Every structure is written in structure tokens, then in C-alpha cells.
């Protein structure tokens, strides 16, 4: 009977599709919705009959279905933010005689509870993974590699080659550079590339430890060494780093009273914990870093010359970002990629105005400041395109974004945005009417709406 009743066959097929695990939407070559299954409509709050004929961007937020049609590219397992949740979406172009005539899209989770259940399962696994990762990091300590030191400039290439050349030895290394240039990152990289990589990497910021605690932090203390001492004593940084690497950050801030004691440990390769009667041999490679002019501190009798020569056996100098501006965008792209991976956000393009502002800025905080700028913009943007509007006002002031001195291109773009916004309001958001009034194609109009972040409400 089924073979002879087309209406029954259609009803059964529609029931199957509406009951499918995925949400399903089909668009034509112009991005117009031609079909959307019932469960998808219910989630979006759309009437199944009224949704047909609408452009997909008017129905599904953050959709790329119309892009799948234009580009003819398959997109599998793409994260898409829909109504407060990240869903997993697939987009498949439909070809006929080599030409894209539409696209079919599916979303794996057809209700947020399913997503939450799986999300909870993933989080449980991640917590377990993070536990073991944290345990390893407590033993090893090094988390960065040389690949994390992004840049394409000749200076960066030379630094990477130098790191590779010196990593395998045991000689002390002094890394110099302004704050935020990546000194600690290089220290991690040297340890990771050395034969000590399976041993601990221990860090101490010399500018963050109170002077009266320095000796016990570096060398540890024995039980009963002073009032409040832990039972059994405490190991110092040198003993914790035994067999591995000790990274002394901001060594220019090391108190003078500790400089002679550090020098002795580096010379004798043994430590004497506070309150102990015996010394302990240690096998530690020291990597130091500073943003201070140690030579000037030596002249001012604030830093021991003999300690300087002991830690300055091998030296790496990292130039500030303002002196290697070709590294700005490789760094920014790296920060965008990492932040999107960690937060689930999606950034597919960056306005030229942002790039131009970045290139003209002096970056006194170097790569760390650039990272903060990028993370703030990604957090605040509601779109997949990074524009100057995404940056907080105080950051735009730092970038010296001056709206009173615009280029011809900026004036044209501002006029386009105002005209499109005006006609969208005048014609109650009717895309086809606005496109006809302006004498442009509908696809072109959608691209401009997206480019200028115009809300069609």
C-alpha cells in the first residue's frame, strides 16, 4: 500500500525527519530557508509554516549556512552559539551538475538538556585530565615550548636558533628584555629542550618574596629552625629543582643580603637549609631573567659583579615589540586562536582598522599587553569578526583611535552603514525591499549588514 500512496509516503518521511536526532534545515542558493524540521523550529521559537521563505540569517543566529552556499565548502562539527548554548553544527553544500544549488545543515543536539548532559560528562573527564596534568606540572613545572614563542621577524628566528643551541648544556643563562616580552616562556623552552626536561622546573620570582623569607624559600629550613617552622622542615627551591632547572625571575630585585649566598650555592653546588648543620649537594641549572640594567646596578653597588658574571654565562636578549612590528600579527593571531579554543568563541576575521591601529601602537607592555587587548576584544564582541568597536573605550584611547580624522574609505563605510540602517528601519527589516531600493543584490546587502554589525530588528 505504501508504494501506491505518495501522500502516505510523504507523511511517513516527514515524521521520520521531524523525529530525527538532529535538527535539520535546508536552504537554497540564495540562503533562503526551504525546509526546517519541527523540533528545530520549536527550539528557535519559529512557526514551521512562516519560517519558509525567510533568509537563514533572520532565523538562526550566528549561522553560516549562507556562507556554505557561497563557498561550496563542507563544514563538519563546527561549534555554533545558539540561544545561550554552544551546539555542534554540520553544513553540507548541495551540488547539481557542478553548481551549488543549496545546502543542508544539521545540529546534533536537539535540546539543551542533551547538550548539558554531554557537557557535564566532558567536564568530568576534563577535571580528571586536569588533575593528572596538575600533578605532572607540580613535578615538572614547565608548560610552554618554543612553538609558543610566536613571531616571524629575523630577531625571533635568531632567538629560537640560539635557544636550540644552548638548551642541551648545563651553563647558566640570563634572559634579558622588557616586561611582557616572553622571558619566562623562553626559560620554559630551554628546560623542555634540555636533557633535564624529565626533571623538575621550579620558578621563583625574586621581586615577589619578602626579604626575610628569601633564605628559607631558596634553601629551605630544618625542623625547629624557628618558631612556626613546619614539622619535618621544608625543602627550598634549589632542593626541589635538584636534577632539573631553577628559574629565577626578576633577579635584579634579589636582596643584596641574598646575593652572596646565591653566589656560594652556584659555585659550590650545595645548599645549607636554615637551622641545619649539614649542607646538601644539588645538581641544578639556573636560568635567570631581568628587565633591569644589571650593569648600572653594579655601578651603584646594588648588584654583585661576581654574581652577574656567574649567571651571565649565556645571554638571550629579547627586543621589545615596538622594534619588531612584523611580529605583532603573528602574536595576535596566536592569542586569538588560543583564546577561541579556550572559550569556545569564534573569530573568523579581523578588520583592517584593528590591524592598522595595532601596528601604529607602541606596545609598552609588549606581548603581554597585546594578549590582554585581544582577550578583552574577544570577550566583548558578539560577532565572529573583530572590529575596533569590540575594544573597551580605554583601550581605544590607548590605540589612539581618532574618529575626527577619518580616511575617505572610513567616511564611505560610515555613510553606507547609516544608509543601510535607515532603510532597514524604514522598510521594517524587509531585506528584499531594501536591496531593491539601494540597487544591490541581496547577498551583497547581507555581507554589508554583517560587515558593519548592523542589527536588523
**Residue-wise pLDDT tens for the chain (457 aa)?**
445 555 555 566 666 666 556 788 999 989 999 999 888 888 888 888 899 999 998 998 888 888 877 888 888 878 777 777 777 888 999 988 888 899 999 887 645 555 556 666 666 666 666 666 665 555 566 778 898 898 999 999 999 999 999 998 899 999 999 999 999 999 999 999 999 988 999 999 998 888 888 888 899 887 666 655 666 678 889 999 999 999 999 999 999 989 999 999 999 999 888 887 788 899 999 999 999 999 999 999 999 999 999 999 999 999 999 999 999 999 999 999 999 888 888 888 888 888 888 988 889 999 999 999 899 889 888 888 888 888 888 777 877 765 545 666 776 787 788 888 888 888 888 888 888 888 888 888 888 888 888 877 5
Query: CA-to-CA distance for 38 and 19, rounded, in angstroms?
Result: 8
For cell 542558493, the residue is 29
Q: What is the pLDDT of residue 333?
A: 92
Q: What is the pLDDT of residue 435?
A: 85
End-to-end CA distance of the chain: 49
CATH class of this structure's domain 2-108: alpha beta
Query: CA-to-CA distance for 154 and 280, rounded, in angstroms?
Result: 44
| Contact partners, residue 267, CB within 8 Å, separation at least 6 | 310
DSSP 211: G
Measuring CA to CA, how many Å separate 19 from each of 6, 22, 39, 110?
Answer: 20, 8, 8, 10
Query: CA-to-CA distance for 418 and 421, rounded, in angstroms?
Result: 5
| Contact partners, residue 108, CB within 8 Å, separation at least 6 | 21, 22, 87, 88, 89, 90
Query: CA-to-CA distance for 457 and 453, rounded, in angstroms?
Result: 12
3-state secondary structure of 88: strand
Range 322-398 has CATH code 3.40.50.2020: no
Q: What is the pLDDT of residue 125?
A: 67
Q: What is the pLDDT of residue 1?
A: 42
Q: What is the pLDDT of residue 405?
A: 55
Q: What is the pLDDT of residue 210?
A: 86
Q: Model's pTM, two decimal places?
A: 0.59
Q: What is the pLDDT of residue 16?
A: 63
Residue (of 106, 108, 101) closest to 36 by Cα position: 106
Domain boundaries, the chain: 2-108, 146-319, 322-398, 408-451
What is the number of other CB atoms lying within 10 angstroms of the CB of residue 327?
20
Q: Which three cell numbers stand for residue 125?
A: 573527564
3-state secondary structure of 144: coil
Residue (of 153, 163, 213, 212) closest to 187 by Cα position: 163
CA 323 to chain centroid, in Å, comes to 23
Q: Which three cell numbers stand for residue 236?
A: 627550598
Give me the CATH topology for the region 146-319.
Rossmann fold (3.40.50)
Q: Are 86 and 344 in contact (CB under 8 A)?
A: yes
What burial class does residue 126 get, using C-beta atoms within 10 Å of its C-beta: 0-12 exposed, 13-18 middle, 19+ buried?
exposed
Q: What is the pLDDT of residue 140?
A: 61
Residue (of 106, 26, 37, 38) closest to 66 by Cα position: 26
Range 408-451 has CATH code 1.10.10: yes
Q: What is the pLDDT of residue 291?
A: 94
CA atoms within 13 A of residue 224's CA, in its CB half-sphere: 2
With residue 350 as reference, give the H or E element that holds it: strand 349-350
For cell 656560594, the residue is 264
Q: Are 55 and 431 in contact (CB under 8 A)?
A: yes
Q: What is the pLDDT of residue 142?
A: 73
Name 235's bridge partners.
220
CA 292 to chain centroid, in Å, comes to 29
Amino acid at each position: 500500500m505504501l508504494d501506491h500512496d505518495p501522500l502516505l509516503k510523504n507523511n511517513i518521511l516527514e515524521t521520520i525527519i521531524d523525529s530525527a536526532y538532529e535538527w535539520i534545515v535546508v536552504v537554497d542558493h540564495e540562503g533562503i530557508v526551504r525546509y526546517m524540521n519541527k523540533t528545530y523550529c520549536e527550539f528557535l521559537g519559529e512557526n514551521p509554516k512562516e519560517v519558509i521563505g525567510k533568509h537563514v540569517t533572520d532565523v538562526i543566529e550566528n549561522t553560516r549556512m549562507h556562507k556554505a552556499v557561497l563557498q561550496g565548502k563542507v563544514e563538519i562539527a563546527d561549534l555554533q552559539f545558539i540561544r545561550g548554548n554552544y551546539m555542534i553544527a554540520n553544513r553540507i553544500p548541495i551540488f547539481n551538475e557542478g553548481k551549488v544549488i543549496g545546502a543542508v545543515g544539521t545540529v546534533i543536539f536537539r535540546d539543551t538538556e542533551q547538550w548539558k548532559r554531554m557537557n557535564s560528562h566532558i567536564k568530568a573527564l576534563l577535571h580528571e585530565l586536569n588533575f593528572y596534568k596538575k600533578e605532572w606540572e607540580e613535578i615538572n613545572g614547565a608548560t610552554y615550548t618554543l612553538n609558543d614563542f610566536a613571531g616571524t621577524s629575523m630577531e625571533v628566528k635568531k632567538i629560537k636558533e640560539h635557544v636550540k643551541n644552548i638548551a642541551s648544556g648545563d651553563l647558566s643563562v640570563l634572559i634579558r628584555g622588557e616586561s611582557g616580552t616572553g622571558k619566562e616562556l623562553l626559560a620554559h623552552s630551554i628546560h623542555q629542550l634540555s636533557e633535564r626536561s624529565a626533571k623538575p622546573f621550579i620558578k621563583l620570582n625574586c621581586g615577589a618574596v619578602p626579604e626575610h623569607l628569601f633564605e628559607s624559600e631558596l634553601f629551605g629550613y630544618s625542623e625547629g629552625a624557628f618558631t612556626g617552622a613546619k614539622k619535618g622542615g621544608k625543602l627550598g627551591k634549589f632542593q626541589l629543582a635538584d636534577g632539573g632547572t631553577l628559574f629565577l625571575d626578576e633577579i635584579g630585585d634579589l636582596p643584596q643580603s641574598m646575593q652572596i649566598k646565591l653566589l656560594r650555592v652556584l659555585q659550590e653546588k650545595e645548599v645549607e637549609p636554615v637551622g641545619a648543620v649539614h649542607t646538601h649537594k644539588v645538581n641544578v641549572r639556573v636560568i635567570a631573567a631581568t628587565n633591569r640594567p644589571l650593569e648600572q646596578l653594579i655601578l651603584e653597588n646594588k648588584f654583585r659583579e661576581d654574581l652577574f658574571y656567574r649567571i651571565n654565562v649565556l645571554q638571550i636578549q629579547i627586543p621589545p615589540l615596538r622594534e619588531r612590528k612584523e611580529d605583532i600579527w603573528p602574536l595576535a593571531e596566536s592569542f586569538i586562536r588560543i583564546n577561541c579554543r579556550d572559550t569556545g568563541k569564534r573569530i573568523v576575521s579581523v578588520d583592517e582598522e584593528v590591524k592598522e591601529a595595532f601596528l601604529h601602537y607602541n606596545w609598552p607592555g609588549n606581548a603581554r599587553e597585546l594578549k590582554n587587548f585581544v582577550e578583552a576584544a574577544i570577550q566583548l564582541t558578539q560577532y565572529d569578526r573583530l572590529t575596533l568597536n569590540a575594544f573597551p573605550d580605554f583601550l581605544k584611547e590607548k590605540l589612539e583611535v581618532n574618529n575626527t580624522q577619518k580616511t575617505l574609505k572610513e567616511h564611505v563605510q560610515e555613510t553606507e552603514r547609516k544608509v543601510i540602517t535607515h532603510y532597514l528601519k524604514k522598510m521594517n527589516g524587509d531585506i528584499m525591499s531594501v536591496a531593491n531600493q539601494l540597487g544591490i543584490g541581496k547577498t551583497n546587502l547581507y555581507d554589508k549588514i554583517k560587515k558593519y554589525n548592523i542589527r536588523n530588528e
